[in-house]
Amino acid sequence: MRTYSSSGILNNYATEPQMYYAVYPSPEQQRRYALLGGYATLFVTALTLIALAVS
């Protein structure tokens, strides 16, 4: 949608979202992130070893 000012100038700027500060993760969330990181590391390691074994 194009909007024009009263003098006929095109006002085509994007609307900016409201800013907010991020909240530091709780200890439970930190443990969950660490566990997911461990699972991801094991998964990538397993895929790499399988690829090496097959080739």
Taking only the tens place, the pLDDT of each residue in 26-55 is: 999 999 999 999 999 999 999 999 999 999
Confidence of residue 15 (pLDDT cuts 50, 70, 90): confident
Phi, psi angle pair for 8, to nearest 5°: 90, 10
Helix, strand, or coil here: 13?
coil
In a domain, 15, yes or no: no
Q: Is there a domain that residue 25 lies in?
A: yes
What is the model's pLDDT at position 38? Answer: 98
Q: Is residue 2, in this structure, part of any structural domain at all?
A: no
Q: Are 3 and 11 in contact (CB under 8 A)?
A: yes
Would you say residue 45 lies in a domain?
Answer: yes
Q: What is the pLDDT of residue 6?
A: 72
Token pair, residue 9, equals 């100038």
> Which neighbouring-strand residues pair with 10?
4
For the chain, the domain total comes to 1
> Could you tell me the residue range of the domain that residue 54 belongs to?
21-55
Residue 55 lies in a domain: yes
